[in-house]
Amino acid sequence: MKFTFLHTIDKAYAGIAIVMSTLSILSCFIIIAVLISCKSLRTNGRTLLICLTVANFVSCVGSIVAAGVSVFTPELTWSNFPVCAAASAISIVSNVCAYLWTCAISLYVYLCISWKKDVLADKLRGVFHLVCWGFPVAVMVIATASDVIGFNFGKAKVERRPPWCWIDRETEKFEMWELVTGLGWRIATIIICTALYSFVQFSLSVQVIGDHSQALVNVILLCFLSKDVRTKLNIKCQSIRHLFSKKTSGLRPLELEELRSDSNQLMDEIELNEEQDQVQG
């Protein structure tokens, strides 16, 4: 495919991509410098942020190379241009890495906040590195070996989008390769992060409700679910019922006094058993 002219909007798009990618690269340097200089910020979770920053840095480099190809070499045959193929490979690896690291950070936060599994989350960091770095490289190698990367210039000349170095539009099963090398992982990342964010928000909402009802929970756990407390309450309730029921109206004062004495004696025995259990414990 011979492409010899770029529309003004295409050049503007490429120029904006170069400027924004350059600013993103500077931002990546700032993030890394801050995390390196401040030891208090070097937590396990923020080390994952450094990995995401590195992936974004490489992605910006690939975008600058691809934009430079579009702007500064308009007379070349794009399908056989090695620089464009290299930019495509860099973009595929870095973009898939960024998507996977975003999912990894979301999963890490979910485990720490919702499940309180900080140790498990830290153990998974090795798995995160293996998957988030190794899998994108494998995708790039497969795409390169299949000879599908190149100049992503549409078949229809009326397409209102600038050309780019990614997947050759003339290759077979273009839509499948588009999903495998980036777009599919972007959609999956949006779905996964949205789901994990919803789970975290739900767990935090439940925790807030628990904070306001802590006293009620303590009453249920320490009083109503305690066998000794329930026994005492039962004795008290029986004493009150006998004292105020119609059946007690015919009892003599001596019988009522004996009933109170039996109840107090039983409660004293329960308290004595509790003291013995505390001494043994």
What confidence tier does 13 reach under pLDDT thresholds 50, 70, 90?
Answer: confident
What confidence tier does 195 reach under pLDDT thresholds 50, 70, 90?
Answer: very high
Q: What are phi and psi of 64, to 5 degrees?
A: -65, -40
Higher-confidence residue of 97 and 172: namely: 97
Mean pLDDT of 105-126: 89
* pLDDT of amino acid 214: 63
Mean pLDDT of 7-24: 80
d(CA 103, CA 97): 10
pLDDT at residue 208 greater than cutoff 70: no
Higher-confidence residue of 107 and 249: namely: 107
* pLDDT of amino acid 5: 44
If we measure between CA atoms, which residue out of 102, 121, 99 comes closest to residue 110? Answer: 121
Mean pLDDT of 82-101: 91
Q: For residue range 72-90, what is the model confidence (pLDDT) as tens digits?
A: 765 454 555 788 888 889 9
* pLDDT of amino acid 58: 94
* pLDDT of amino acid 226: 66
- 3-state SS assignment for residue 252: coil
Higher-confidence residue of 100 and 70: namely: 100
**Which residues, other chains included, contact 4 with Cβ-Cβ below 8 Å and sequence gap of 6+?**
74, 75
Contact call for residues 182 and 96 (beta carbons, < 8 A): yes
Mean pLDDT of 139-168: 72
Q: Range with the lowest mean pLDDT among 43-47, 201-205, 258-262?
A: 258-262
pLDDT at residue 47 greater than cutoff 70: yes
What confidence tier does 149 reach under pLDDT thresholds 50, 70, 90?
Answer: confident
Q: pLDDT averaged over the chain?
A: 78
Q: What are phi and psi of 132, to 5 degrees?
A: -75, -25
Q: Range with the lowest mean pLDDT among 61-70, 198-207, 237-246?
A: 237-246
Higher-confidence residue of 110 and 258: namely: 110
CA within 13 Å, CB half, 125: 16
Mean pLDDT of 11-32: 88
* pLDDT of amino acid 176: 92
* pLDDT of amino acid 260: 61
Contact call for residues 231 and 270 (beta carbons, < 8 A): yes
Q: For residue range 222-280, what is the model confidence (pLDDT) as tens digits?
A: 666 666 666 767 777 766 666 666 454 555 555 556 656 666 666 666 666 666 666 66
Give residue for tokens 């004293």: 268
